[in-house]
A and B are shown apart, each in its own frame.
Chain A
Amino acid sequence: MQGGYEDQGGGPHGSMGGSAGNQLGTGGRQGAGSSPATGPESLLSFPAGSPASLSQVTEVAGRLARAMNSVIEGKPDVVHTAITVLLAEGHLLLEDVPGVGKTMLAKTLAKTIDCSVRRVQFTPDLLPSDITGVSVFNQDVRDFEFRPGAIFANVVVGDEINRASPKTQSALLESMEEGQVTVDGQTYDLPKPFIVMATQNPIEMEGTYPLPEAQRDRFMARISLGYPSSRAEVAMLDSHGQVSPLETLSPVTDAATITAMVKAVRSVFTSDAIKQYVVDLSSATRSSSALRLGASPRATLHMLRAARAHAALEGRDHVLPDDVQAIVVHVLAHRVIPTGETQLARRSTAEVLQDLMRRVPVPAAGR
């Protein structure tokens, strides 16, 4: 294992990490869904496989948000988006200049959930096998044995993903999309829930391999944290003075609960009008003269899922166009490519998308 990755979860309460790792090590069967969650008493736990109610979803999500906001100062909207992506079974791309707390956000989300967490620091010499795992010859059993890579965790924090070579990046991204890893012809399922939170520096920075469009497309949302306000920055200096707040943070939920919440989110009703609206938005990006590349069908799917999660976080059992509008920029901004003229005009893709949203009419039922 050349690339340094550390096991962050799986502490005293980390039953998930341990069991998943063991199971994967032996049989390659996924464990999150099948193994009962044995979190601390304070955590809400659900019988495996049954969806949570919407009130439970909002309740747990509220606790998650509160816990994360205690660490990430003054960025409640970013935290909200991160939770939305988590519940929508998506992956998160954190893109910003160094030092604004990308990794901190990823680590915070990982720590508030009592599950297995791995962090991979991407470097130019990181190999695909470091991500996926490798089969090694076990002298005792005289057979090849699969050693799972860094990807086998509920929460994978890929730090500075654009510093690794494209080959390694694709290894990660393929497993992200498939939810499984195939090594030496053997397919191993990844644990559920499974979220990759990759951070990257803006592509103009030195020593980076920009993520190709196809791979950026696999992230459900991209978030930029941006610099904190001066008050938030002062507060940060205060809270980070003696001890990192991350260290005092204790998990507020566990993997099973998240899985149940994800199921609840899946059951959020989406009317035909909403589906039409999402499709209209996608096709609007494709025909827009300000964009060189529009949204892919996968982006459409991601939009719908994110909108469902957004609706569920508001405690609603159906999606509103407002939910869609709330997530459109996060979901689409990193997928569409502006034309040269748009860039020359210094219009960001977010602005273009906002403009599109103002123009695409909201379909009514029955029309």
Chain B
Amino acid sequence: MSRGRVPESLLAGAASAVVAWPITTLFTPNTWVRPTLAVILVVVLTGIAARMLTTSWVLVALSQLAGIVLVASWLHGRGHLWYGLPTPDMVLAFNNLLVDARLTVQNYAAPAPTNRGVTLGIGLAIGVAAVIVDHLAVMRRSPAMAGLPLLTAFLISASNSGESLNPMYFVAAGGVWLLMLGRQGISSLRRWSTTTPMSTTGRRSSEDHDGAYGYAAVGRTLAVAGLVTAVALPVVIPHFPTRYLIDGLGRSSDAAGFSDGQIGLKTTLDLQRSLGNPSKAPVLSYTTNAPILTPLRVGVLVNYANDEWRPDDADVRYTRRPDLQLPPELDDSVPRETYRISVDESRIEAPQIAAPTPLVSGDLDGVAWGLDRQTSVASVNRTASSYSFTYLALNPSAQTLDQGAQGATGALLPPELQVDPESEPLVRDLVAKVVPEGASRIEAARAIQSYLRTGGGFTYSLTLPKTVTNEFGQSEAPDPISLFLRSKVGYCVQFATAMVMMARESGIPARMAIGFLPGTADRGTYTVRASDAHAWPELFFEGVGWLRFEPTPSGTQNTVAPPYSLAPTTPDPTNPSSTASGSSSVSSNTRVDGANDPGAQDPTSTSGSNSDSSSFLGQQTRTVLLWVLLALVAGILGSLAVPLAARSRLRRRLKDAPDEATRVEIEWQAMVERLGDLGVIPPRGSTPRQAGRFYQREAYLEGEQTQALRRVVDGVERSRYAPPGTTVTNVRPDTHEVVKAVSGVRRRKDRLRAAWWPSEGLLEWRERRERAARVARTPWDRWQERRAERRAEARGGRS
């Protein structure tokens, strides 16, 4: 039984199973679990059986692999079996299944559907991992090494699930691995030789046990402490953004909270933050029958405080077929068209889902969903990768929208009317300037949009200014909204926020919507990328409901203002630039279809951003190279520190030596150290003569080298043991000869270690450190002594 090493094998199997556990977050449903457990069990049992029969690790591993193939054949290859054995046919079948699995993994974001190919793939991969773990942990008796394949398997799950894994997965995997380590450590301890410990009392056997217990206790403490630290530490330390050595490689947009796999839009919008380099990673693709595209909304934010938008708690009931109702305020007279949108390959994480507004019906392929009761934002309880919605495109007439402005009065304002108090004076001034006296709601909204979009001289930029210069020429850093309104630089979030605040100031309820621009078209399919993330204001109009406005100018993003938000045929006399705004809006309106064509993108801005990024990249590369160079220089200098210390130590000691005999002794010690660094270490109790014989034997010295060694030994014996006054000759050339001869027969590794990491050098550094510590301690000690003396005096005086 002991040859089979049953407990170790079972532990190794358990470890393989536990690291496969987090794969449950990657695939759904979990039908792959049982076949995979069967494969692991077969690996464990085959391993135990094979170990009882043979000691060859090759045979054990081969039998385990054969076991995996057999189990996989029985599970997945029915119809390709010949008396229970796999046939050549089977290879083809497996190949097809695995290709299937690959396609699934490539096409689906986690959790991907589990099909037979996936089950087979997981089973084979985990089976091979189990064989490797079994080999390392049981055959090689080094479970620490087995941690590497285990960690690899674990990290595959952890890095692909797109979100932070539940700590229990890590605790389980780490725990089993530590168990393996502990088991191996204890059994190694028990296999130690039975040399009796040095003790004069009769408690030897019990002390033996104490040793084992102590070892185990320390091990347990360390293991628990390590696990707890590993789980607790990430909670305490802040999560740093991902850093890349060279910019431009696999970078994802951090502003919108995208990760490589799945995507979720951040529902808090920090106005002070510049948008990073947005990713071109596709978010979703869709087809639609609508002639005019609308942005896809993901969320709505109402509360603005402390310079950022904060989400409300969701109030949704998820069902397969929610009872959709049009907004109650929507008047039947409003002209409308019903369109349909079919989304594929959406990577937006639950509960978010991208949808146009307002929704009429939806088919989410079995995923439960619903509309928020407060904001009527659609959300899902599980990530839906393909779905379709029908929605209304409203085109309210000017008459419908033309309702009188309501003043912002009363202390108890609804949140949709609350203006950020910090920026309110500036917003009020601005509204007074921009919105004509006695303008209707829609006129006010149009004026604000026009002001922000074209008339106000705002510039679209992903990089926000930090400060703004006031009228006295001093730079100030006011709140973000004021900063934006004064510096006139920002991106969609700032534009939208400004419009929301100005609309609220004008008495129009307004809120912030976040989502995606319509994206780019390719043969009828539109692809929305992460860089299409967008924010826009929604203003409330009686009889219509929440209407989208578009204050963000058409910069790098092709933002299109909805037709109802544009000024009617007659230009507004109060806003001289409204003509331009109107024409530009019209022109952008006409560009709607072209805007979705990638070729229609403004060539100057593209090249500009390209040249920007390339120069940035170049600078970054140069910085990196500089750092690498500096690190290299520091590394070389650092690696010289120890050998140089060794040399200076030897030179100093030789200089300080009072006589030739001491010098010979120092040379001898240095030689012994250097030969020890080379891996030639004579037994502890060796006399010089025995050490010499040992060196000669170990390093195969001959001829002149033996003579040199003999002269060295003779010199040492004389210097140490001969009567004073005996002439001792310098042995330095001889020690060099011996060291050279010995290092000639050692391995390169030993030679390198002896050259770069000499123990004499380490000793020198330790002494230097101690000297420094002593110097630092001396004043403290002196002070302590003086205090003790004073106290003693005081006591003496009292007595």
Where the two chains meet, the residues of A that have a C-beta atom closer than 8 Å to any C-beta of B are 269, 271, 273-274, 287-290, 317-322, 325, 341, 357-362, 364-366
Q: How far is the CA of A97 from the CA of B445 in the complex (A)?
A: 124
Q: How far is the CA of A257 from the CA of B689 in the complex (A)?
A: 32
A sample of 15 more A-B contacts (CB under 8 A), given A318-B726, A320-B687, A364-B720, is A269-B721, A269-B723, A271-B720, A273-B721, A317-B723, A318-B721, A318-B722, A321-B689, A358-B685, A361-B684, A362-B685, A362-B687, A365-B665, A366-B662, A366-B665
**Which 5 A-B pairs give the minimum distances between C-beta atoms?**
A269-B723, A321-B687, A365-B720, A318-B722, A271-B721
Q: Which of B196-204, B703-711, B750-758 contacts A (4 or more CB under 8 A)?
A: B196-204
Q: How far is the CA of A362 from the CA of B722 in the complex (A)?
A: 15
Within 8 A of A (CB), among B616-670: 661-662, 665, 668-669
Taking the closest CB of chain B, its distance from the CB of A185, in whole angstroms, is 44
Q: How far is the CA of A361 from the CA of B722 in the complex (A)?
A: 19
Does B397 have its Cβ within 8 Å of any Cβ on chain A? no
Does B759 have its Cβ within 8 Å of any Cβ on chain A? no
Q: Is the Cβ of B720 less than 8 Å from the Cβ of A357?
A: no
Given contacts A289-B198, A364-B665, A365-B661, contact A269 B722 (CB under 8 A): yes
Whose C-beta in chain B lies nearest to the C-beta of A342?
B196
Does B279 have its Cβ within 8 Å of any Cβ on chain A? no
Where the two chains meet, the residues of B that have a C-beta atom closer than 8 Å to any C-beta of A are 196-200, 661-662, 665, 668-669, 683-690, 717, 719-723, 726
* Most-contacted residue by chain B among A288, A317, A361, A365 (CB, 10 A): A365
Q: List 11 A-B contacts (CB under 8 A).
A: A269-B723, A271-B722, A271-B723, A289-B196, A317-B722, A318-B726, A320-B721, A341-B196, A361-B684, A362-B686, A365-B662
Q: Is the Cβ of A359 less than 8 Å from the Cβ of B720?
A: no
Q: Which residue in B197, B688, B723 is a CB contact (below 8 Å) of A318?
A: B723
Chain B residue contacts of A359, Cβ below 8 A: 684-685
Whose C-beta in chain A lies nearest to the C-beta of B669?
A364
Q: How far is the CA of A358 from the CA of B686 in the complex (A)?
A: 7
Taking the closest CB of chain B, its distance from the CB of A241, in whole angstroms, is 42
Chain A residue contacts of B690, Cβ below 8 A: 322
Q: Is the Cβ of A274 less than 8 Å from the Cβ of B721?
A: yes
Taking the closest CB of chain B, its distance from the CB of A273, in whole angstroms, is 5
Given contacts A289-B198, A364-B665, contact A322 B689 (CB under 8 A): yes
Q: Is the Cβ of B720 less than 8 Å from the Cβ of A273?
A: yes
Q: How far is the CA of A366 from the CA of B716 in the complex (A)?
A: 12
Q: Is the Cβ of B717 less than 8 Å from the Cβ of A320?
A: yes
Q: Is the Cβ of B721 less than 8 Å from the Cβ of A319?
A: yes
Q: Which residue in B196, B684, B685, B719 is a CB contact (below 8 Å) of A365?
A: B719
Q: Which residue in B199, B668, B685, B689 is a CB contact (below 8 Å) of A361?
A: B685
Q: How far is the CA of A357 from the CA of B665 in the complex (A)?
A: 22
Q: How far is the CA of A170 from the CA of B203 in the complex (A)?
A: 39
Taking the closest CB of chain A, its distance from the CB of B205, in whole angstroms, is 11
Chain A residue contacts of B684, Cβ below 8 A: 358-359, 361
A-B contact count (CB 8 A): 63
Taking the closest CB of chain B, its distance from the CB of A363, in whole angstroms, is 9
Q: How far is the CA of A288 from the CA of B200 in the complex (A)?
A: 8
Q: How far is the CA of A365 from the CA of B662 in the complex (A)?
A: 8
Q: Is the Cβ of A289 less than 8 Å from the Cβ of B687?
A: no
Q: Is the Cβ of A289 less than 8 Å from the Cβ of B200?
A: yes
Q: Is the Cβ of A289 less than 8 Å from the Cβ of B199?
A: yes
Chain A residue contacts of B661, Cβ below 8 A: 365
Chain B residue contacts of A358, Cβ below 8 A: 683-685
Taking the closest CB of chain A, its distance from the CB of B685, in whole angstroms, is 5
Taking the closest CB of chain A, its distance from the CB of B709, in whole angstroms, is 16
Q: How far is the CA of A360 from the CA of B686 in the complex (A)?
A: 9
Chain B residue contacts of A274, Cβ below 8 A: 721
Whose C-beta in chain A lies nearest to the C-beta of B200?
A289
Whose C-beta in chain B lies nearest to the C-beta of A367?
B665
Taking the closest CB of chain B, its distance from the CB of A278, in whole angstroms, is 12
* Most-contacted residue by chain A among B665, B683, B690, B720 (CB, 10 A): B720
Taking the closest CB of chain A, its distance from the CB of B511, in whole angstroms, is 84
Chain B residue contacts of A317, Cβ below 8 A: 722-723
Given contacts A289-B200, A341-B196, A365-B665, contact A360 B685 (CB under 8 A): yes
Q: Is the Cβ of B685 less than 8 Å from the Cβ of A357?
A: yes
Chain B residue contacts of A365, Cβ below 8 A: 661-662, 665, 719-721
Taking the closest CB of chain A, its distance from the CB of B720, in whole angstroms, is 4
Taking the closest CB of chain B, its distance from the CB of A291, in whole angstroms, is 10
Q: How far is the CA of A321 from the CA of B685 in the complex (A)?
A: 10
Chain A residue contacts of B687, Cβ below 8 A: 320-322, 325, 362
Q: How far is the CA of A361 from the CA of B672 in the complex (A)?
A: 14
Taking the closest CB of chain A, its distance from the CB of B202, in whole angstroms, is 10
Whose C-beta in chain A lies nearest to the C-beta of B720?
A365
Given contacts A271-B721, A271-B722, A365-B665, contact A320 B685 (CB under 8 A): no
Q: How far is the CA of A269 from the CA of B722 in the complex (A)?
A: 7
Chain A residue contacts of B662, Cβ below 8 A: 365-366
Q: How far is the CA of A195 from the CA of B683 in the complex (A)?
A: 37
Taking the closest CB of chain B, its distance from the CB of A306, in whole angstroms, is 16
Q: How far is the CA of A360 from the CA of B719 in the complex (A)?
A: 21
Q: How far is the CA of A269 from the CA of B718 in the complex (A)?
A: 11
Whose C-beta in chain A lies nearest to the C-beta of B672?
A364
Q: How far is the CA of A358 from the CA of B669 in the complex (A)?
A: 19
Chain B residue contacts of A320, Cβ below 8 A: 687, 689, 717, 721
Q: How far is the CA of A317 from the CA of B661 in the complex (A)?
A: 17
Chain A residue contacts of B721, Cβ below 8 A: 269, 271, 273-274, 318-321, 365
Whose C-beta in chain B lies nearest to the C-beta of A292?
B200
Chain A residue contacts of B720, Cβ below 8 A: 271, 273, 364-365
Q: How far is the CA of A274 from the CA of B690 in the complex (A)?
A: 16
* Most-contacted residue by chain A among B683, B721, B723 (CB, 10 A): B721
Chain A residue contacts of B723, Cβ below 8 A: 269, 271, 317-318
Q: How far is the CA of A357 from the CA of B685 in the complex (A)?
A: 6
Q: How far is the CA of A290 from the CA of B721 in the complex (A)?
A: 31
Chain B residue contacts of A289, Cβ below 8 A: 196-200
Chain B residue contacts of A287, Cβ below 8 A: 198
Chain A residue contacts of B688, Cβ below 8 A: 321, 362
Q: How far is the CA of A271 from the CA of B725 in the complex (A)?
A: 12
Q: How far is the CA of A321 from the CA of B722 in the complex (A)?
A: 12
Q: How far is the CA of A125 from the CA of B722 in the complex (A)?
A: 51
Q: How far is the CA of A96 from the CA of B688 in the complex (A)?
A: 35
Taking the closest CB of chain B, its distance from the CB of A210, in whole angstroms, is 25
Whose C-beta in chain A lies nearest to the C-beta of B690?
A322
* Most-contacted residue by chain A among B198, B669, B687 (CB, 10 A): B687
* Most-contacted residue by chain A among B197, B668, B685, B717 (CB, 10 A): B685
Q: How far is the CA of A365 from the CA of B199 in the complex (A)?
A: 31
Q: How far is the CA of A288 from the CA of B198 in the complex (A)?
A: 7
Chain A residue contacts of B686, Cβ below 8 A: 362
Taking the closest CB of chain B, its distance from the CB of A312, in whole angstroms, is 13
Taking the closest CB of chain A, its distance from the CB of B777, in whole angstroms, is 26
Taking the closest CB of chain B, its distance from the CB of A350, in whole angstroms, is 16
Q: How far is the CA of A341 from the CA of B200 in the complex (A)?
A: 12
* Most-contacted residue by chain B among A273, A289, A290, A341 (CB, 10 A): A289
Taking the closest CB of chain A, its distance from the CB of B185, in whole angstroms, is 26
Taking the closest CB of chain B, its distance from the CB of A96, in whole angstroms, is 29
Chain B residue contacts of A322, Cβ below 8 A: 687, 689-690
Taking the closest CB of chain A, its distance from the CB of B645, in whole angstroms, is 21
Q: How far is the CA of A290 from the CA of B204 in the complex (A)?
A: 13
Taking the closest CB of chain A, its distance from the CB of B671, in whole angstroms, is 13
Q: How far is the CA of A357 from the CA of B684 in the complex (A)?
A: 9
Taking the closest CB of chain B, its distance from the CB of A245, in whole angstroms, is 36
Q: How far is the CA of A358 from the CA of B687 in the complex (A)?
A: 10
Taking the closest CB of chain B, its distance from the CB of A326, in whole angstroms, is 10
Chain A residue contacts of B200, Cβ below 8 A: 289
Q: How far is the CA of A359 from the CA of B196 in the complex (A)?
A: 15
Taking the closest CB of chain A, its distance from the CB of B741, in whole angstroms, is 23
Q: How far is the CA of A362 from the CA of B683 in the complex (A)?
A: 11
Whose C-beta in chain B lies nearest to the C-beta of A281?
B685
Taking the closest CB of chain A, its distance from the CB of B192, in whole angstroms, is 17
Chain B residue contacts of A273, Cβ below 8 A: 720-721
Chain A residue contacts of B198, Cβ below 8 A: 287-289
